[in-house]
């Protein structure tokens, strides 16, 4: 009997309710980042499940890079150990449903990792943003397994890096500030080669936060003391 | 015919009073507009006070009188307590008014050798409760009640003798309207016996159907509907440990025992519970109460065990543990999850389940949801709320003019330390004069030397502050 089913399956004669193959057997799937340029560079976008390592200093647009992706998610988004308060007002104005957000402030790095693993494993969260310092290889592997169980994506937001060892992640991005938006360096991508750096243009989504408009119109670069005099009427 | 036992408690409230104090003082309980005596103890009786006496007369008879007012709610509550106490021996108990319990005996006799043994058990139980009572058996609920109220107090199951005793009662004790009793007396019917002598048909012709029904129920010929007492659903178990525990890790096994009992309890009733209370009894110190919650209802012992473990990890004992008790007071119905038959189930938990785990380990305040609120002050525009409670907002772009706000706000406003380049602004926010948190700020988007996008503002005194980061 089992042989027969196997045979029919090989012949593609059996229709399966679960989209042809069980999830565990599915290949590396991607989901759009919302930026066409980035999607092209990443051959489709972010991985649908797994660990993404984002190395960036805080405040250059690393969250904005993920916002179009988060906007499309239907399951919860867990934000673990953010460096400051998440501003619901800002998310609201950028069209993100804040009802899906779960802000977790753990007391220790161990608890943060534990919470991340629970969120991923549960299947209730489609994405987890984790701000964490140094991570060990085995910790990342554990997160990777949890992400597979719950089919979620975890983004490790890391700013001041002291370690250089490569982690077993699906995708590793390094972000640098740029006048047009962000300079993205793909240091690692599963199933692909490293690519040269490229500039992600964010001026259409956030014109105010790209410097080029103002600079071209001749806005002076003022030091703090000068700014004081300039703006006081 | 079914055999009934009626227990009549004439002075429940008085008995309750004496439960605590042993000193004997003449005590009466008064009720009604005239404050007539309805319950009195033997000391008061010896002093000359009688039932039905007015309060004034009673006070004049005895100088050191303790007077209480009749409390119906308390009496009813006490009666329900007694019913629950007797429920261990009798399955079918009916609460009759505020003073009586009707027990269906015939169903229970299969459990006991004979009625004497049954009564012996009941009497021992009642004795523990320290109440005064009168009792009687009867082949109809009404007959048992009338005999008990007439203080028959004998365990007699012979129907002839019971009917004879019933027949000797005067008509005035029957639970009939006054007018009815008057009309019976007028035709010379003084006792129940005389009433029983008249054939039912004649009775129907002479009097109204109400009386016929009453007599029919009294003689057990007509059905007498009774509702039986159901004890309230409540789970409470206590476990005394065989030896004292100092390490909470070792509590897992004993606790598991209780949780399995809970699982069986809930499974039988097809119920779930959202929170359980664990009480840790410590030597020579106050018991420690822990509340473990699960946002989605749960009954399985292993799930509760996992949650309890997380809570116990955060708990510290003051003294060695001598016992543990588990209580559940509220239950909920399981809600049917409509899951797709075909979609492969991913993950191990629902959102509510995840929340329960996170909150058990990290504490309630560490896990929160966020929602925007209508306030122009940026620090008040985000409110923290219980997770999964804020509704999905429908974002209509036409209605709202999008505002540029930083994704990250500093928890506290900091004085600006580094030199920055102002890129855009100002945007003045001047509001809040009504609630004591007044702001007057000019906000600018700025970039610092390492090209980070900052949200800075200048207050009225021209001081500069950093408030957010455009992450």
CA A117 to chain centre: 16
Task: Kindly state the tokens that stand for A208.
Answer: 């105010």
User: A130 is written with which tokens?
Assistant: 């984790």
Mean pLDDT of B336-364: 74
Helices vs strands, H then E, count in chain A: 8, 11
A92, B387: Cβ pair inside 8 Å?
A: no
Mean of pLDDT values over A174-192: 84
**Cα–Cα distance, B432 to B350 (Å, whole number):** 41
Is the reported ipTM for this assembly greater than 0.85?
no
What string of H, E and C letters represents the secondary structure of A39-98? HHHCCCCEECCEEEEEECCCCCCHHHHHHHHHHCCCCEEEEECCCCEECHHHHHHCCCCH
CA–CA min distance B298, chain A (Å): 16
Closest chain A CA to residue B410: A84
Residue A78 clears pLDDT 90, i.e. is over it = yes
Has residue B399 got a pLDDT over 80?
no
Query: For residue A48, what pLDDT is reported?
Result: 87
Give the model's pLDDT for residue A52.
92
Residues of A in contact with B341 (CB under 8 A): 17
Helix (H) or strand (E) holding B311, with range, is helix B301-313
- Mean local confidence (pLDDT), B65-81: 88
pLDDT score of B133? 92
- pLDDT at position A24 is 47
Question: Mutating which of B359, B402, B407, B458 best tests the A interface, going by the most A Cβ atoms within 10 A?
Answer: B407
- Helical packing angle, B159-167 and B141-149, nearest 10°: 60
Instruction: Please check the confidence at residue A224 and state whether its pLDDT lies above 60.
Output: no
* Angstroms from A48 CA to nearest CA on chain B: 13
Residue A29's CB: how many other CB atoms inside 10 A?
A: 13
Decide if B347 touches A, using CB distance below 8 A.
yes
B309 touches B301 (CB < 8 A)? no
Q: Which of B4, B312, B329 is nearest to B146 (CA)?
A: B4
The B residues from 362 to 421 touching A (CB cutoff 8 Å) are 362, 366-373, 378, 381-384, 387-388, 390-393, 395, 397, 400, 402-411, 416, 418-421
**Contact residues, chain A, for B367 at CB < 8 Å:** 102-104
The SS3 assignment for B451 reads: coil
Checking if the pLDDT of B312 tops 60, the result is: yes
Backbone angles phi, psi at B444, to 5 degrees: -130, 150
Q: Alpha-carbon distance B467 to B407, whole Å? A: 11
- Model confidence at A220, pLDDT cuts 50, 70, 90, reads very low
- Please state, in angstroms and rounded to a whole number, the distance separating the CA atoms of residues B78 and B80: 5
Task: Say yes or no to pLDDT of B7 above 60.
Answer: yes
Q: In the predicted model, is pLDDT for residue A165 greater than 70?
A: no
Mean residue pLDDT of chain B comes to 85
The predicted structure's pLDDT at residue B145: 92
Mean pLDDT of A133-141: 86
Among candidates B362, B390, B408 on the partner chain, residue whose Cβ is nearest the Cβ of A104: B362
pLDDT band at B42; cut points 50, 70, 90: confident
Q: What is the pLDDT of residues B441-455, one digit of tens each?
A: 999 999 888 888 899
Q: Are the beta carbons of B347 and A149 separated by less than 8 Å?
A: yes
A170 DSSP assignment: S
Look at residues B349, B341, B361 and name the one whose alpha carbon lies nearest to residue A125. B349
Q: How far is B440 from chain A (nearest CA, A)?
A: 14
CATH of A25-201, one of 3.90.640.10, 3.40.50.300, 3.30.200.20, 3.30.930.10: 3.40.50.300
Percentage of chain B surpassing pLDDT 90? 14
- The pLDDT assigned to A79 comes to 93
- Which of B343, B378, B390 comes nearest A99 by C-beta? B390
Q: Residue B447: which of A44, A224, A174, A135 has the closest Cα?
A: A224
Q: Which residues contact B443 (CB under 8 A, 6 or more apart)?
A: B425, B426, B427, B428, B429, B455, B456, B457, B467
Residue scoring higher pLDDT (B339 or A114): A114
**B469/A91 touch (CB, cutoff 8 Å), yes or no:** no
pLDDT on residue A115: 93
Q: Per-residue b/e over A35-44, b at no fewer than 16 CB within 10 Å?
A: beebbebbee
Residues of B in contact with A90 (CB under 8 A): 405-407
Quick one: closest CA in A to B364, which residue? A104
pLDDT of residue A217 exceeding 50, the answer is: no
* Weakest-pLDDT range from A13-17, A74-78, A205-209: A13-17
Beta carbons within 8 Å of A16's beta carbon, 6+ residues apart: none
What span, in angstroms and rounded, lies between the C-alpha atoms of A63 and B407? 8
pLDDT in tens, B253-292: 889 988 998 998 888 888 888 889 999 988 888 889 988 8
**What is the pLDDT at residue A222?**
42
Q: Per-residue confidence at B225, pLDDT binned at 50, 70, 90?
A: confident
Average pLDDT, chain A: 80
Angle at B99 between CA B97 and CA B104, to 5 degrees: 75
Q: How far apart are CA B137 and CA B142, in angstroms?
A: 10
- For the cut 50, the answer to whether the pLDDT of residue A223 exceeds it is no
Using alpha carbons only, give the angle B427, B433, B435 rounded to the nearest 5 degrees: 120
Interface size, chain A vs chain B, as Cβ–Cβ contacts under 8 Å: 223
For the cut 80, the answer to whether the pLDDT of residue B379 exceeds it is yes
What the block records as the tokens of B399 is 């209605």
Task: Give B464's pLDDT tier (boundaries 50, 70, 90).
Answer: very high
Alpha carbons B186 and B180: distance in angstroms, whole number: 10
CB contact under 8 A, A209 and B361: no
Inter-CA distances, B434 with A107, B163, B382, B437, B439, Å: 37, 83, 19, 8, 11
For chain B, count helices (H), then strands (E). 14, 18
pLDDT of residue A44: 83
CB B421 to CB A221 under 8 A?
yes
pLDDT band at A162 (very low <50, low <70, confident <90, very high): low
The confidence band for A77, taking pLDDT boundaries of 50, 70 and 90, is very high
Does B371 sit within 8 Å of A99, measured CB to CB?
A: yes
Contacts with A145 from chain B: Cβ below 8 Å: none
| The predicted structure's pLDDT at residue B340 | 58
Listed in order, strand segments (DSSP E) in B176-320 are 235-245, 273-282, 288-298
Q: How many residues does chain A have?
A: 233
pLDDT at B402 over 90: no
Q: How confident is the model at residue A153 (pLDDT cuts 50, 70, 90)?
A: very high
């Amino acid at each position: 009997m089992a042989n027969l089913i196997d045979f029919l399956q090989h012949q593609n004669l059996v229709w399966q309710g679960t989209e042809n193959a069980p999830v565990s057997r599915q290949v590396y799937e991607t989901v759009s980042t919302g930026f066409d340029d980035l999607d092209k560079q990443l051959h489709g976008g972010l991985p649908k499940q797994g660990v993404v390592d984002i190395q960036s200093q805080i405040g250059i647009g690393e969250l904005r890079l993920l916002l179009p992706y988060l906007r499309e998610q239907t399951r919860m988004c867990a934000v673990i150990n953010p460096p400051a308060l998440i501003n619901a007002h800002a998310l609201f104005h950028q069209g993100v449903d804040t009802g899906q957000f779960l802000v977790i402030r753990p007391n220790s790095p161990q608890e943060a990792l534990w919470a991340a693993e629970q969120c991923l494993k549960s299947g209730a969260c489609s994405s987890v943003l984790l701000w964490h310092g140094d991570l060990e290889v085995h910790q990342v592997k554990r997160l990777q397994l949890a992400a597979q169980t719950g089919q979620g994506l975890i983004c490790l937001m890391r700013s001041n890096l002291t370690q250089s060892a490569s982690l077993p992640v699906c995708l590793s991005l390094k972000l640098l500030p740029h006048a047009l938006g962000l300079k993205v360096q793909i240091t690692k991508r599963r199933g692909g080669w490293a690519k040269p750096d490229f500039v992600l243009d964010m001026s259409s989504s956030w014109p105010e936060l790209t410097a080029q408009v103002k600079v071209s119109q001749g806005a002076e670069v003022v030091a703090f003391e000068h700014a004081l005099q300039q703006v006081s009427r | 015919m079914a055999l009934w036992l009626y227990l009549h408690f004439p002075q429940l409230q008085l008995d309750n009073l004496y439960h605590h104090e042993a000193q004997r003082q003449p005590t009466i309980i008064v009720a009604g507009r005239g404050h007539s005596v309805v319950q009195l103890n033997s000391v008061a009786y010896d002093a000359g006070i009688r039932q039905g006496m007015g309060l004034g007369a009673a006070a004049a008879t005895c100088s050191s009188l303790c007077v209480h007012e009749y409390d119906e709610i308390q009496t009813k509550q006490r009666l329900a307590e007694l019913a629950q106490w007797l429920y261990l021996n009798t399955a079918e108990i009916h609460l009759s008014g505020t003073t009586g319990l009707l027990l269906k005996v015939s169903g229970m006799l299969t459990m006991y050798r004979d009625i004497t043994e049954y009564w012996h058990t009941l009497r021992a139980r009642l004795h523990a409760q320290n109440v005064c009572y009168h009792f009687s058996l009867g082949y109809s609920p009404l007959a048992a009640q009338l005999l008990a109220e007439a203080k028959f107090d004998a365990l007699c199951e012979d129907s002839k003798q019971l009917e004879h005793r019933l027949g000797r009662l005067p008509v005035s004790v029957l639970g009939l309207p006054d007018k009815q009793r008057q009309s019976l007396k007028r035709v010379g019917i003084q006792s129940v016996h005389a009433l029983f002598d008249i054939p039912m048909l004649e009775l129907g012709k002479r009097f109204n159907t109400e009386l016929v029904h009453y007599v029919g129920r009294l003689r057990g010929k007509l059905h007498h509907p009774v509702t039986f007492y159901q004890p309230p659903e409540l789970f409470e178990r206590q476990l005394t440990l065989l030896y004292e525990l100092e390490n909470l890790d070792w509590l897992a096994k004993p606790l598991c025992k209780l949780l399995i009992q809970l699982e069986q309890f809930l499974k039988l009733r097809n119920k779930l519970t959202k929170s359980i209370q664990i009480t840790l009894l410590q030597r020579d110190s106050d018991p420690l109460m822990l509340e473990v919650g699960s946002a989605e209802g749960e009954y399985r012992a292993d799930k509760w065990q996992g949650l309890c473990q997380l809570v116990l990890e955060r708990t510290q004992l003051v003294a060695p543990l001598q016992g543990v008790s588990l209580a559940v007071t509220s239950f909920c119905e399981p809600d049917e999850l409509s899951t797709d038959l075909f979609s492969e189930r991913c993950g191990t938990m629902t959102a509510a389940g995840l929340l329960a785990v996170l909150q058990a380990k990290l504490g309630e305040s560490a896990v929160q949801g966020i929602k925007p609120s209508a306030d122009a002050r940026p620090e008040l525009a985000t409110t923290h709320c219980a997770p999964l409670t804020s509704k999905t907002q429908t974002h209509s772009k036409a209605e709202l003019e999008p505002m540029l706000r930083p994704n990250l706000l500093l928890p506290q406003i900091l004085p600006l330390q580094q030199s920055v380049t102002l890129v855009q602004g100002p945007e003045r926010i001047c509001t809040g004069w009504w609630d004591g948190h007044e702001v007057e700020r000019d906000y600018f988007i700025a970039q610092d030397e390492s090209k980070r996008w900052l949200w800075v503002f200048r207050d009225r005194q021209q001081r500069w502050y950093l408030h957010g980061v455009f992450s």
